[in-house]
Amino acid sequence: MYKNDLRSYRGITPNFTKTVYIDDSSVLVGDITIGEHSSIWPLVAARGDVNTITIGENTNIQDGTVLHVTRKSTNNPKGNPLIIGDNVTIGHKCMLHGCELGNRILVGMGAIIMDGAIIEDDVFIGAGSLVPPNKVLKSGYLYVGNPVKQVRKLKESESNFLLQSAINYVELKDEYLSENY
């Protein structure tokens, strides 16, 4: 199957099907669920130890990205799980921490999305952007900056690219899986 580092935490091991590609150099720990046809690329670190990570279908998590969660506490009884929807592209070296992403989103390289942030469907986040805690990014817009700001409505070509980017990575992961990685 895979040679990558899949670790149990408190008896819970990452859960995914054979349609998912996970690079050998990635490390996934604990309560992580990955949807059909998604991909985890080199050097991704995902820790579902003190809360859950859920990754939807046809979603790609690119090289060097860190995925983590926030512990449940008396001040925050549910903590902050990490929820990533369907057809999402997470660019290289991103940091997603206890946030919620909808469907058809592109997170540019090096972006940081912090605890409690909610990213609605059909959003483009520019490279290097910082989404502060509890910020809500509304559907259909381009956001950039540190801290992130709404710049403008997405162009039709950009909206179309959100889904196309996910499709491109489904095709790529199928090539990797066919090579018996």
CATH of the domain at 104: 2.160.10.10
- Residue 1: pLDDT above 90? no
Please give the biggest Cα pair distance in the chain.
Answer: 48
pTM of the model as a whole: 0.95
CA 45, CA 5: separation in Å to the nearest integer? 10
Residue type for position 172? L
Beta-bridge partners for 16:
none
Beta strands in the chain, from DSSP E residues, in sequence order = 5-7, 21-22, 27-34, 39-40, 45-55, 60-61, 66-68, 82-84, 89-90, 95-97, 100-101, 105-107, 112-113, 118-119, 123-125, 130-131, 136-137, 141-145, 148-153
Q: Give per-residue pLDDT as tens, 123-141.
A: 999 999 999 999 999 999 9
CA 61, CA 146: separation in Å to the nearest integer? 22
Q: Give per-residue pLDDT as tens, 51-75.
A: 999 999 999 999 999 999 999 999 9
Domain of residue 110, residue span: 5-178
Give how many domains the chain has, as a whole number: 1
